[in-house]
C-alpha cells in the first residue's frame, strides 16, 4: 500500500474513525480506553477535543497521530486504512503528513530556535540550504523573525511554544495535533498562541485538532468534541466562535 498516493474520492474528508475500540491489557486486567468511537474531521477544520482525565481523548489523539494503534474498528486518513499499514508506513505517514505540538514544548535545549525547527526536515533528508530557508520562513510565520539564533533558555514560554509550532508546520503537514498547547503558559501568552493557531487555520488552511481542558481556549475553535468514559458524548459546532 502506497501511503504517498492517498485516495481523493472525498477531498474534504481528512480523518474518519468508525467503531474504534482500544483495549489495554487482557483478561481481568483489561482496560477499555475507547468504546466504539465514530468521528470525522474534514480538511480545514479547527477542532477542540475535551474531557476529564481518563476520558479517552489522549488515547484517541495518539491513534490519530499514529503514536498508538487501535484494537478494532477503522481509522482512515484521506481514504487510506491506517490500521492496515505496517510500522514503516505509519512512520512515513507521521513524518510527511502530521505535525505535533505538545504542552512541554519538547525543544532541544542546546540548539538554536532555527536548528530546532530544521529537525524534521533533517529526518526527511532535505538539503541544508533548502531546510534553512524553510525553517526561517516558519519562524517568521510564527512571529519570531530575529530570534533564530536564540536557545530555548533564552526564550519566554510563549516564544518556546512558537518555536515548537514553527517546527510542527515547517513540513506543511496535512493536520496539526496540539496537545494542551497552552497548558504551561500564562493567560496572556495562552491567548497569543491561540490567535496564532487561528491565523494558521484561517490564512494557511491548516487543519488543527487540539486537546484542551480549558473552555476558554476551546472557545477559539470551530467545533468542540467531548469525551467521557471512552465515548464521544457530544460533537457540536462552537456557537461562541466568531
16, 171, 181, 200, 236 from 80: Cα distances, Å? 10, 20, 28, 26, 26
* Angle, helices 187-204/157-169, rounded to nearest 10 degrees: 20
Per-residue model confidence (pLDDT) at position 4:
56
Assigned C-alpha cell, 233:
458524548
User: What distance in Å separates the CA atoms of residue 160 and residue 158, rounded to the nearest whole number?
Assistant: 5
Instruction: Give ∠ CA 73-76-77 in degrees, rounded to 5.
Output: 150
Tell me how far apart the alpha carbons of residues 60 and 73 are, in angstroms, rounded to a whole number.
12
Q: pLDDT in tens for each of the 242 residues of the chain?
A: 555 555 444 557 899 999 999 999 988 888 999 999 999 999 999 999 999 999 999 999 999 999 999 999 999 999 999 999 999 999 999 989 999 998 888 899 889 999 999 999 998 889 999 999 999 999 999 999 999 999 999 999 999 999 999 999 999 999 999 999 998 889 999 999 999 999 999 998 999 999 999 999 999 999 999 999 999 999 999 876 54
Question: In sequence order, what are the beta bridge partners of 223?
Answer: 47, 237
Q: Domains in the chain, please, with CATH?
A: 44-70+92-237 (3.40.50.300)
- pTM as predicted: 0.90
Listed in sequence order, the DSSP H helices in the chain are: 57-64, 87-97, 113-124, 128-141, 157-169, 187-204, 215-218
Nearest to 217 by CA among 177, 183, 168: 183
Specify the DSSP class assigned to residue 222. S
Count of residues in the chain: 242
Amino acid at each position: 500500500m502506497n501511503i504517498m498516493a492517498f485516495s481523493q474520492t472525498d477531498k474534504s474528508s481528512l480523518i474518519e474513525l468508525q467503531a474504534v475500540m482500544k483495549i489495554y491489557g487482557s483478561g481481568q486486567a483489561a482496560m477499555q480506553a475507547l468504546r466504539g468511537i465514530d468521528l470525522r474531521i474534514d480538511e480545514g477544520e479547527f477542532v477542540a477535543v475535551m474531557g476529564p482525565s481518563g476520558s479517552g481523548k489522549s488515547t484517541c489523539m495518539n491513534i490519530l497521530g499514529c503514536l498508538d494503534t487501535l484494537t478494532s474498528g477503522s481509522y482512515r486518513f484521506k481514504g487510506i486504512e491506517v490500521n492496515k499499514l505496517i510500522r514503516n508506513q505509519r512512520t512515513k505517514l507521521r513524518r510527511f503528513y502530521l505535525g505535533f505540538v505538545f504542552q512541554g514544548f519538547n525543544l532541544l535545549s542546546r540548539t538554536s530556535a532555527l536548528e530546532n525547527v530544521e529537525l524534521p526536515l533533517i529526518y526527511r533528508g532535505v538539503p541544508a540550504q533548502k531546510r534553512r530557508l524553510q525553517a526561517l520562513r516558519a519562524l517568521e510565520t510564527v512571529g519570531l523573525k530575529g530570534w533564530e539564533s536564540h536557545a530555548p533558555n533564552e526564550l519566554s514560554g510563549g516564544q518556546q511554544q512558537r518555536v515548537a509550532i514553527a517546527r510542527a508546520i515547517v513540513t506543511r503537514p496535512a493536520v496539526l495535533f496540539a496537545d494542551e498547547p497552552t497548558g504551561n503558559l500564562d493567560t496572556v501568552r495562552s491567548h497569543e498562541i491561540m490567535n496564532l493557531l487561528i491565523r494558521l487555520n484561517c490564512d494557511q488552511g491548516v487543519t488543527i485538532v487540539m486537546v484542551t481542558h480549558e473552555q476558554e481556549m476551546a472557545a477559539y475553535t470551530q467545533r468542540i468534541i467531548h469525551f467521557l468514559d471512552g465515548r464521544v458524548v457530544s460533537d457540536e459546532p462552537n456557537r461562541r466562535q466568531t
